[in-house]
Every structure is written in structure tokens, then in C-alpha cells.
A and B are shown apart, each in its own frame.
Chain A
Amino acid sequence: MKNIVKLEFIKTFGYPGFRTIILLHAILFLLVVTIGSQIHLSIQGLRIDKLFAFPHIWATFSWIGSWFNLLLGIIVIILVGNEHQFRTFRKQLIDGLSRNQILYSKMVIITILALYALLIVLLTGLIFGIIYSNNITISSVFEKTPYVLVLFVQSFAYMMLGMLFAFIFKSNALSIVTFILFFFPIEPILRVFFPSEIDQFFPIKIISNLTPMPDFVGITTSDLIQINGSSPASLQNMGIMPESLSVGIATIVCIGYIIIFYFITKQIVKQQNF
């Protein structure tokens, strides 16, 4: 296992394309959260900065972080596609790796990238939270941190799906196009033909709903509600955001999909002529 991790590190971190995309991912994320935190609306009772304070910041940053998961999926497609293009999977099989080790080596990278996605949100969240929170308590800091763990599961799922496409199609361009089209419009079109009880269990919907859009209205107007004593406003109460599966159930289903993606990929790798 140590050898697999080491060889995967050499080829992945030595790839300029990988370093560029990761740098782009980090810059874009930091840029979006920095610009977002600088937006000030002068409406009485509306506190945009609460989105960037503990504990809401974890939901906000996990949601923003999820925008860039597609990029992580594309990185994995490129890494697997390159191996097909350079025929280096074939060489490594000849050199003594097993087909399972070929798959595990890529899963090592997927795990590292999911950890990176988690860490970047965790670290920036801590920094921004400290800056934008008035009263910092231990409970307020940790209250919504499970959102960040859910982001880990979500990015893992995106990348596992990307890897599956890359092993099926072998070509970078075809895999990336299919991967993106599967998110939109292929799965949304398929979902039209199913009732909502089934529709909510489709893979892309489940994966995407893991990090739902934060309840901007509820969070930013909470002070106003407390003053007026009215019922709490929320996007769901206002009918803007539909009710969906709870994050807990969605996470369990998503892990189920990750396992399915793994076994399909394993079968493909087992039978593929490299």
C-alpha cells in the first residue's frame, strides 16, 4: 500500500495540469467567499454578514465549496484519462500492479482530494468565522460543522462518478462532456418521468442536495424576527426552496451510491483490456 501511495503521489503531484487545476480551485473558492463576505445590503434588519458568522458559516461555505466539486470530478477524469492516453495503466500492470491496485491507487487520490476540499472549507471557515462573529462560543463554532463532513462525502461521490466515466470512456473529452451532461440535462430529464418519491433518490439529485443552499432569508432576518416576534421566515416557508430529504438520509443514500460506483468501476477495471 505504501508503494501505491508513493507512486500515485509521484505521477499526480508531478503533473502540471493537476497543480494548475487545484490552484484554480483554491483561488476561485477564496475569491468567491471573499467577495461574498464583502457584500453589504443596507436594508434594516437584514444581516448578510450572519452568513459568514458561526455557526451558519459552515452551511454557507459547504454550499459554496460544492460549486467547485465538478472541478474535482474533472481532475479525476483527467488523471484516469491520461493513464489511458499514455497507456501507463498497461505498463503498471506489466510491471506488477494488480487491477485492484490500479483502482485503489486512484481512490487514494480521490480521498486526498476530498480531504483537501474539506480542509480548505474548514480552514477558511474558521478564519472568516472568527472575523465575522460577534460572540464566539465553542458551541457556536462546532454547531454546524457536520456540513463540512457532508461536503467530504459529496466531493468523494462526484469524483467516484468522474472516475467511473473515465474508465468507461477512456477519453478525457468524452468522459468530461458525458460527466457534465449527466448532471444537466440527462438526469433531470430522466427524473421528469418518475414521481417525486422516486425522483429524489436519483444519484445526482441526492449528491447535489447534500449541501443545500443555506436559508438566506431565515438566517439574515433572524434579528428582525426576534424584534417583531413574528414566525420565522425561511425559503421553504416562502415556497422558494422545496422540501427535500434530510441531510442525514441523503448522506446515507449518497454513501450507497459511492459503493455502487466503486463496484461498477471495479468490474470494468477487472474486464478491461489495457
Chain B
Amino acid sequence: METILSVESISKIFGNLTAVDQLSFKVQKGEVIGMLGPNGSGKTTTLSIILSVKQASSGHFSWFNGLSGEMANRRIGSLIEVPYFYPYLNLERNLAITALARGKGENDILRVLDEVGLLKRSKSSYYTLSLGMKQRLALASTLIGDPEVLIFDEPTNGLDPEGIAEVRELIKSQAVKGKTIIMASHILDEVEKVCSSVIILKKGKCIASGKVSELLNKKQIVIIESDDSDLLSVLINQNRSCKVLSKEDKQFTIEIETDYTPSDLNSWLFSKGIILNRLEPKHLTLESQFLELVGKTQNL
């Protein structure tokens, strides 16, 4: 698989603060990668460095096998933090500046405005737009010239639920087209729904990375319940593939190993004389995984 971005040991130090600490990762062509982390974890700084807006204190990165700076950026559509446009210019003029900076013609402007639902406002001044519309315009500017890579930093900021769903669909539609997408967000549900892989940052360090499915399948949680809760408790504690997480009345929440299915558990308990009234797999979310990972690394 073709590597689109290679980041090797980049660090960024502001005075006494290490915003990014020896961060390394690779992004493959066609991958939709989410960058997760609490506020101040270094997501935006990392994106700013790989877009050459900020200079790394150490380490290096390269796009498309050896490019960086403006040559790489012309092939990337990016939305970092909040939209930055000229308030006194209309939408078309603002996008014309983006198109010219990217070395593209101005004939793509109306298409992208239509794609984000702002075609009717093309002659309006930027300052007359609502926050959500400004965010849509920023998304439109990333699509100018049909770039190979898209980078979004909190793309749903300021959008209403309908707008969030539209942006999600927009990102998914770009992913279907084979675009490589890097999306930083602290809205985990958003990342889970859109991204195939994630990098989890905390205090500038990568604390976990990999496919979303792999992260979520690292363990299974099931809720079980039986009338004979005393025997059930004894049996579960005997089973090395199970670990009790919590107990409430007759209900147990247990974690089972990945090679052991809920069905295996049910068969084993039945063979020991337990009939379960309830066997409910609990689906893990990225949010719960993220919170656990971040919690585990409190001492970082």
C-alpha cells in the first residue's frame, strides 16, 4: 500500500511546554484516519506542523514520498481549527483566493459551493454568514481542485445536528471516492462513524493507534443474569476467560477474552447447571475505549 504521509519523531516545544512529543505515524493511501485526544493533546499543533504552518522543533515528515511545504499542500485540502476568510469579500471571491493559492482555476468554485449547500449565498459577504455557514464554506474550500488528501480539524464545530450529519455524509462520500482523510476531533462518536483507523494522543504523545475495529474488539463485555446468582458468581470466578467488572443484584457485567464468545460462555454455564435469564453482549464504543486509555495514562 502506498504511504501518503510519513511522520517521524516530530516534537514541538513552546517554551516549557512540549506540545508534541516524539510523535511518529504513517498514513496510507485511501485511509480515513481519526486523530483523537482531549483538548491540548497536540492534535492541531501536529496538523499545523505537517501542513508547514508551524515548524517542528525536531523530527521530520514527508508527504507523497518526499514532498513537504507548498508543493505538498497544493495536493491537500485542509480545514484547521476555525475558518479563516476575508470578512469583506463574498464567498466566490474568498474561494477564488483559495483556488489561486492552490494553483487551480476558478471554475471549480460554484461546484464546491453547491456541494456544501451555499450556492445561493455565493455573492454574500463572508461576515453575513452564520457560524455553521462559515464552517461549510471552509469545507468547500478544502474541496477546491479535488485534492487527493483532506485534513479536517474539528469539522463539525458550530454546526447544528442536521449540519453535522451532512458533514459526516460529505466526508464519507469523499472517503468512498478513495480520498485519504485525516480528521482530528474530540467528538468520538463522529470519529467512530467516519474513520477506519485512529491515533489517540495525550499530552503530545501517541498512546494508542490502529484500526477502529481492532481497538473496539480488543475485549468483549457481556451482561448475564441467572436466578442462581450465588452459583453463577462462583462459576464465573472459576472461569479464566472471564473477569467480573461489576455486580448488581443478580446481574453481572463481565469481560471475556476475544477468543471466547458469549455463546461459548452460555454453553459452559449450561453444562454447569446454570440457565441464564439474560445474555446480552455490550457493544464497546470508541468513547469508552478512549476514556479508558486516557485514564490509564494519567501519569503521563
Question: Chain A: interface secondary structure?
Answer: helix
Q: Which stretch (B84-92, B163-171, B281-289) binds chain A?
A: B84-92
Chain A's nearest CB lies how many Å from the CB of B171?
Answer: 18
Known: A15-B88, A93-B53, A94-B80. A3 touches B70 (CB 8 A): no
Per the bound structure, the CA–CA distance linking A7 and B141 in Å amounts to 15
> Which residues, 39 to 70 on B, are CB-close (under 8 Å) to A?
51-55, 69-70
Is A98 in contact with B97, judged by CB distance below 8 angstroms? Answer: no
Q: Which stretch (B100-108, B208-216, B246-254) binds chain A?
A: B100-108
Question: Chain B: interface secondary structure?
Answer: loop
Is B53 in contact with A88, judged by CB distance below 8 angstroms? Answer: no
A227 at the interface (CB under 8 A from B): no
B98 at the interface (CB under 8 A from A): yes
Is A3 in contact with B89, judged by CB distance below 8 angstroms? Answer: no
Is A86 in contact with B84, judged by CB distance below 8 angstroms? Answer: yes
Q: What bracket does the count of chain A residues touching chain B fall in? A: 20 to 34
> Which residues of A are found within 8 Å of B70, using beta-carbon distances?
93, 96-98, 101
A197 at the interface (CB under 8 A from B): no
Per the bound structure, the CA–CA distance linking A88 and B93 in Å amounts to 13
> Which residues of A are found within 8 Å of B98, using beta-carbon distances?
91, 95
Instruction: Considering the complex, give the chain A residue whose CB is closest to the CB of B51.
Output: A94
Is A93 in contact with B84, judged by CB distance below 8 angstroms? Answer: no
Pick from A14, A98, A274: contact of B89, CB under 8 Å: A14
Per the bound structure, the CA–CA distance linking A101 and B69 in Å amounts to 12
Chain B's nearest CB lies how many Å from the CB of A50?
Answer: 46
A10 at the interface (CB under 8 A from B): yes
Pick from B73, B85, B103: contact of A94, CB under 8 Å: B73
A273 at the interface (CB under 8 A from B): yes
30 pairs, A vs B, C-beta closer than 8 Å: A3-B100, A4-B100, A7-B97, A10-B89, A14-B88, A14-B89, A15-B86, A16-B88, A86-B84, A87-B84, A88-B86, A90-B84, A91-B141, A93-B51, A93-B52, A94-B53, A94-B73, A95-B73, A95-B97, A95-B101, A95-B102, A95-B141, A96-B70, A96-B73, A96-B103, A97-B70, A97-B101, A101-B70, A273-B53, A274-B54
Residues of A within 8 A of B (CB): 3-4, 6-7, 10-11, 14-16, 82, 86-88, 90-98, 101, 271, 273-274
Residues of B within 8 A of A (CB): 51-55, 69-70, 73-74, 78, 80, 84-89, 93, 96-98, 100-103, 141
